[in-house]
Structure 1
Amino acid sequence: MTIQKQIKACLFDMDGLLINTEDIYTITCNEILEKYNKGPLTWDVKLQLQGLPGFEAGTKLLEHYGLPLTFEEFNKMNVASQDTKWPTCQFLPGALELIKYLHEHNIPIALCTSSNQTKFLAKTSHLTDGFDLFDAVTTGDDPRLANGRGKPCPDIWQIGLKKLNDKYGTSITPEECIVFEDGKPGVISGKAFGGSVVWVPHHDAYDHLGDVDAFLEGKGEMLHTLNDLDKAKYGL
């Protein structure tokens, strides 16, 4: 097979791509919505929330469903429920295998998640056999990520790549990276960053994706799971 692009680094989103936390987000949101006779949370709405920092996602949710709550009230209820469920989350198909493969083949890998540091640790502390392999981790509360510059802005990928280049003394460019994402805002940010985007949306989102080819604009591909990645295509 002809290599389409020689990839030198891989940058990963986390929620809904590597681990099944998007399902947990849906469950906890629906618990709150049900209390106010609202909902349920549907994927046409979730697609607008994925990858956004917590405050932005929560505010959009409250506005869409007309919940009589402040963000602080909603967040307190949501976090209390989530905290009981994070220890149950698991890797999604192909995720752990891909992380280990890239690590074993000395391909620099960075995690770039909109989750803040506290949530990142809550979600991953029982999954260290995998997350410990990342060369760099950037969370949504990283001080280098300015307010309002979360996804769909490309900044978090730029920060992640800079950490890799600083660590290894390399000068890898965005064009030499794959950005792995599950959410539409993340795909937009990956395209703006300049990387090749591998989009792995939740299977329940398929009916709401629209024209996939038009959305990707020739800057990536959509897969059903990370198991479907053709590594040879990218020279991995």
Structure 2
Amino acid sequence: MVQKQFIRRRFNCYLIINMGAFTAVTHVLFDMDGLILNTEDLYTVAFQNIVSKFGKNYTYDLKISLMGSQMHETADMIIKGLDLPMTRDEFIEASKKEFATLFPDTEVLPGVRRLIEHLHNNNIPIGLATSSSIESYELKTNKQHQQLFSLFPYKTFGSSDPEVKKGKPFPDIFLVAASRFPDKPAPEQCLVFEDAINGVKAARAAGMQVVMVPDAKLDRSYTKEATLVLNSMEEFKPELFGLPPFTN
């Protein structure tokens, strides 16, 4: 008989986990925006500031369709989706100005620091797999998060890395990120943490299990491809995937 465990969720709901449904892993990959840092909210502000100049609305449907994309892909989708009178380069340049103001105020999301430090302290290989550029990453982390991100010995920046040919939902970034580990783990040995639909699709396309921590507003019908869905990283139990359990 398959053993079951019940985890209490918000709003008096419960998540039923089949304990035999997951495969043990040896390596872990983390998305960054909206998963480690609260930057998805800041992206929304930045893009709305840009499109407002043309009387447009950066809608939630448009946002979830492009989350996880590389910056040039994001620019193209917003310009096309809202019929903006801008070139890709103009949109990217306007975005950089917004990011320079907003990104230094990023915050780490609940439960994330504890998990990253726990994996690091238990010698579990961890890597960062973000669609951000190196420049954007430095804006988000330079002010107050350097210590946390120093725990990632391997970092892959989708918008800057020539090996990442296509952004999420294509598997490129996770396959490249896994290849950066010295022991070159197989995809099934890797667990991915994501918040975005496109990120989940990319992880699954790469042959990896994926824990999704979606935006609270996202319709849960969009989360079906994830291996496990949580309201917050605070709910995650490492032992479900054969990782060392928290000690307290």
Same fold (TM over 0.5): yes
1:210 to 221, 237, 246: 221
Residues 30-63 of structure 1: CA deviation (Å, up to 9, x unaligned): 1112211110x22211111111110111110111
For residues 145-184 of structure 1, the aligned pairs below 5 Å read 145-146=164-165, 149-164=166-181, 166=182, 170-184=183-197
**Kindly tell me: are residues 74 and 230 of structure 1, through their superposed partners in 2, closer, same or farther at Cα, counting changes over 3 Å?**
same
In structure 2, the CA distance between the partners of 1:61 and 1:211, relative to structure 1 (3 Å rule), is closer
Residue 80 of structure 1 is matched in structure 2 by 97
- The aligned counterpart of 1:26 is 44
Task: Give, in whole Å, the separation in 1 of the partners of 2:179 and 2:86.
Answer: 39
1:193 and 2:206 are equivalent in the alignment: yes
Number of residue pairs aligned between Structure 1 and Structure 2: 223
Structure 1 partner of 2:227: 220
Query: What does residue 12 of structure 1 align with?
Result: 30
AA in 1 matched with 2:92: N
Return closer, same or farther for 1:32/1:171 CA change in 2, 3 Å cut-off: closer
Letter in 1 for 2:205: A
Structure 1: how far apart are the matches of 2:211 and 2:222?
16
Report % sequence identity: 35
Structure 2 counterpart of 1:221, one-letter code: L
Residues in 1 aligned to 2:172 and 2:49: alpha-carbon distance in whole angstroms: 33
Q: Deviations over 1:91-135 (max 9, x none)?
A: 111111111011011110000111111111111112012100012
Partner of 1:105: 122
Q: What's the Cα RMSD here?
A: 1.5
Q: Counterpart in 1 of 2:161? A: 142
Q: How has the CA–CA distance of structure 1 residues 193 and 29 changed in structure 2, closer, same or farther, with 3 Å as cutoff?
A: same
In the TM superposition, what is the alpha-carbon distance from 1:6 to its structure 2 partner? 1.5
* Residue segments in structure 2 that go unaligned for 5+ positions in a row: 4-18, 244-248
Note if contact 2:28-2:190 (Cα within 8 Å) is conserved in structure 1.
yes
2:165 counterpart of 1:130: no
**Offset from partner CA, 1:64-95 (integer Å, 9 cap, x none):** 11111112222222211110111100111111
Q: Which runs of 5+ in 1 are unaligned?
A: none
Q: In structure 2, do the counterparts of structure 1 residues 211 and 113 end up closer, same or farther at CA, with 3 Å as the change threshold?
A: closer
